[in-house]
A and B are shown apart, each in its own frame.
Chain A
Amino acid sequence: MNRAAPIAGSYRDPAGGVHRLGDRILRTVADDYDADFTAALRTGLLDRFADDGRIVAFETLTDAPQSLGLTGASRVLEHPRLPFISHPYEWSFEALRAAALHHLDLHLSAVEGELTLSDATAYNVQFVGTDPIFIDLLSFRPYREGEIWAGYRQFCEQFLNPLVLCAATGLMPNAWYRGRIEGIATADLARLLPWRARFSRRILLHVVAHAALESAAPDAARTKQTASASLPRASFLNMLRDLRAWIAKLHPKKGRSLWSDYTTTCSYSDEEQAAKKAEVAAFATMLNPKILWDIGCNTGEYSLLALKSGADYVIGWDGDARAVDAAFRAARAEGARLTPLVGDLANPSPSQGWGQAERAGMQERSNADSALALAVVHHLLFGANVPLPQAISWIVGLAPRGLIEFVPPTDVQVRGMIARRDGVHHPYDREHFVAALTQAARIERSTIIGPSGRELFWYDRSR
């Protein structure tokens, strides 16, 4: 008998859980929640949301839960697999904002149809390209007149506060969010906001007053007061609409980004760029990658090119959140199947959370059949002191095939990096590069793209 195994991130909600059975993604509906789920289904909203691509598609299986090794469940649903599961701390500002708006819009539509969402966790939103999609069917349940918004605090911590932090201070929230995976606490944000930001009515309410109320210890009277708390429907809808209007207008405060301007300030000629593009296009055309990881994707220029040339889906990674934001905007403008994510390549997302397994790490999630690693190896070597063989074997480990660029030590940027080191660094030249790559994979072909000596290597470790 095939037995479905629970997915580590799905344990909190007693309404059910997500399981993996081979390649299939199954969701159980717990006995105790079945009445609520049936009521939610009867509204017809879930089917409509799924048809519109606002929530993940689902199908009720006729198999008895026990036959799949699942107990305590009244029924089992099956979802199609998404291209990739990313975490909110890997999203750029634009992505987090798109997810927040998607969540609010879905909640507003749900309440109109007499349903509500039982929580507001950002981890319930995923991306297909740059389109957000809600994945937790069991969050829907009938709306009860006058109930408070149970997920409000969670919405603030996981969506609103990171966005406000970035809009008010220009700080990118990713590192903090990654360290505190439940999001940014309202009290913490309230302490950091510049005084000017506090004059905003919404910040005053949702951050300053909210933090003050949280800091008040819950005595018996307050507990009694909130136990009988009621939020009229009109007020609830106003709250959702007002948050939506606010978030739609938030933008990151201006700040410096080295890499989001890189494509306009890079150190090599137009001819070399054209040759590099031709090689990337040839790679994508010949291999037709199903999932391509663009390691060090910057503003997504080569990811988009790969998509146009034959790649089906690209996950981009870059440590510069502002460059990733630019990539997100570019991908959205083209409706491209590119999901650019923020990730420090020298310190990728770890497996963390409950049991150190709740949120899988970057490498653990690698589903790439191909990789692009353009002008990135020297950054690992000079920026993070990673020896060449380790940097190359890490990249090759992420995907069985790939295109990897060697930037010679004579390149202007690399020369600058070397000069600052006073020449003291791990060995870095073509000979060592080729030796390290040969150690990790087979070199299928190499192309020098111009007089600077930049060279692109196709590797394959699958044969």
Chain B
Amino acid sequence: MTRKTSKSRLAEPILLGAVFLAGTAVAPAWAYLDPGTGSMMLQLMLGGLAGVMVVGKLYLKRATDFIRNIGRRRHPE
């Protein structure tokens, strides 16, 4: 039986989330220092989260506009 090496229990779901949210464009890290895989993943996640929030806000606006429009149609000026 193989034993998994001990890792933070949070790592897997966060990692999956990060991969899910990550962008696809290719841009190598131009750096002499090691940016660290974990730190890069976190940035992907932050970038992804920001993207999700922008899209979310857009849909929220559409939804509120839609509801407002219903209200206007019911009470024409």
Contact = CB atoms under 8 A, between A and B. Distances in A.
A binds B: yes
Interface of A: 12-15, 118-119, 141, 144-154, 156, 205-206, 208-218, 222-223, 225-232, 234-236, 238-239
9 contacts: A118-B33, A147-B28, A148-B44, A152-B42, A213-B41, A228-B24, A230-B24, A230-B27, A235-B50
Contacts of A228: 24-27
B23 A230 contact: yes
A148 B30 CA distance: 9
A15 B19 CA distance: 33
Contacts of B18: 213
Interface of B: 5, 7-8, 10-12, 14-15, 18-19, 22-47, 50-51
B43 A232 contact: no
Given A231-B47, A232-B51, A210 B42 contact: yes
A210 B39 contact: yes
Nearest to A228: B26
A228 B26 CA distance: 5
Contacts of B44: 148, 225-226, 229-231
Given A215-B11, A216-B12, A217-B5, A225 B22 contact: yes
Given A148-B27, A212-B14, 15 more contacts: A12-B32, A146-B27, A148-B40, A150-B33, A152-B35, A205-B42, A212-B10, A213-B45, A214-B36, A228-B24, A229-B23, A229-B41, A231-B46, A235-B46, A236-B47
Most buried by A among B11, B22, B26, B40: B40
A148 B39 CA distance: 10
Contacts, number: 153
A153 B36 contact: yes
A147 B28 CA distance: 7
Contacts of A12: 32-33
A151 B50 contact: no
A148 B43 contact: yes
Most buried by A among B24, B27, B39, B44: B39
Contacts of A238: 46, 50
A208 to B, nearest CB: 7
Contacts of B27: 144-148, 228-231
A149 B39 CA distance: 9
B15 A222 contact: yes
B39 A13 contact: no
A141 B19 contact: no
Given A152-B43, A153-B36, A212 B30 contact: no
Nearest to B54: A234
A237 to B, nearest CB: 10
A147 B23 CA distance: 11
A213 B51 contact: no
A18 B39 CA distance: 29
